[in-house]
Every structure is written in structure tokens, then in C-alpha cells.
């Protein structure tokens, strides 16, 4: 009979635990907006595809990824979104390197924030190595 009580408690608590966990997921992330902000921060220039011919041209570019191209003997890096914003971002090698640096720094910052959060967590297992 004891196990029956435990199952009853578990059945009562499970939906609450599930809802609490689902609440931690946060707001949905708009990856396209994040990519556009990262490109702009790295110095890429936003250009609108405001004619059918321009839309057709950027449709041939792999969508929503940075690609390298030679245009009129110039090296350029492009990111296109023909279906969404009907725009593309254009940048130089320096802009692309800055984009990679920014991404690396952002990942390093997230890791640092995570590790610092563990110091504030009373449930985080302490190994006693820093004692």
C-alpha cells in the first residue's frame, strides 16, 4: 500500500514539474533576427532586393548562410533571405573575420556566465577543490 501512495503523489506532482520545466524554456528564439543583428554588428551592409530581378538574383544564393563570392573582381561575403525580408547582407573579408570573432566572444561570454551561475547555485555539487 505504501507504493500506491508514492505513485499517487508522483501522479499529482508530475504535471506541476512538467509545467515548471516548460516555463524555464523562455521565449522562442528568432534565429533570422539574431543572424541579421550579428551581421550588422560585424559591419555587413544591408541591401534590399526591391525589384523582381534582384529577388531572383538573391534567390540563387544559398539562403540564410554566409557564402563567399567574387563579384566584379572583388571578394565579398553574402547572406541572403529572399523569402523573408527580401534582402541581403554584403561584407568584406574583414567583416567576416569580425563576425567570427564576435561569435567566439559571445560563446565565451555565455560559458563564463554559466560557470559564474554555478557558484551562486546552492545545489551545485561542490568537490571541495577550491577550499
Digit-coded pLDDT (tens) for 68-86: 999 999 999 999 999 999 9
Mean pLDDT over each residue of the chain, to the nearest integer: 80
Q: Which three cell numbers mark 23? A: 516555463
Angle between helices 31-41 and 93-119 (to 10 degrees): 120
* 100 within a domain of the structure (yes/no): yes
For 91-127, the pLDDT digits (tens) are: 999 999 999 999 999 988 877 767 666 666 666 655 5
Enumerate the β-bridge partners of residue 22: none
66 and 78 Cβ atoms separated by less than 8 Å: yes
90 and 77 Cβ atoms separated by less than 8 Å: yes
pLDDT of residue 4: 45
* 73 within a domain of the structure (yes/no): yes
* 83 within a domain of the structure (yes/no): yes
pTM across the whole model: 0.63
Domains contained in the chain, number: 1
pLDDT of residue 46: 97
| Parent domain of 75 | 30-118
* 15 within a domain of the structure (yes/no): no
* 57 within a domain of the structure (yes/no): yes
Distance, in Å, from the CA atom of 46 to the CA atom of 93, rounded to the nearest integer, reads: 16
* 75 within a domain of the structure (yes/no): yes
* 56 within a domain of the structure (yes/no): yes
pLDDT of residue 107: 87
* 3 within a domain of the structure (yes/no): no
Amino acid at each position: 500500500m505504501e507504493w500506491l501512495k508514492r505513485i499517487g503523489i508522483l501522479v499529482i506532482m508530475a504535471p506541476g514539474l512538467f509545467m515548471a520545466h516548460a516555463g524555464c524554456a523562455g521565449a522562442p528564439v528568432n534565429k533570422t533576427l539574431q543572424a541579421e543583428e550579428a551581421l550588422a554588428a560585424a559591419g555587413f551592409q544591408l541591401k534590399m532586393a526591391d525589384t523582381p530581378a534582384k529577388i531572383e538574383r538573391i534567390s540563387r544564393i544559398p539562403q540564410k548562410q554566409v557564402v563567399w563570392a567574387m563579384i566584379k573582381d572583388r571578394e565579398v561575403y553574402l547572406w541572403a533571405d529572399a523569402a523573408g525580408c527580401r534582402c541581403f547582407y554584403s561584407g568584406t573579408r574583414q567583416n567576416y573575420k569580425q563576425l567570427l570573432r564576435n561569435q567566439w566572444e559571445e560563446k565565451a561570454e555565455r560559458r563564463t556566465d554559466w560557470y559564474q551561475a554555478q557558484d551562486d547555485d546552492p545545489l551545485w555539487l561542490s568537490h571541495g577543490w577550491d577550499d
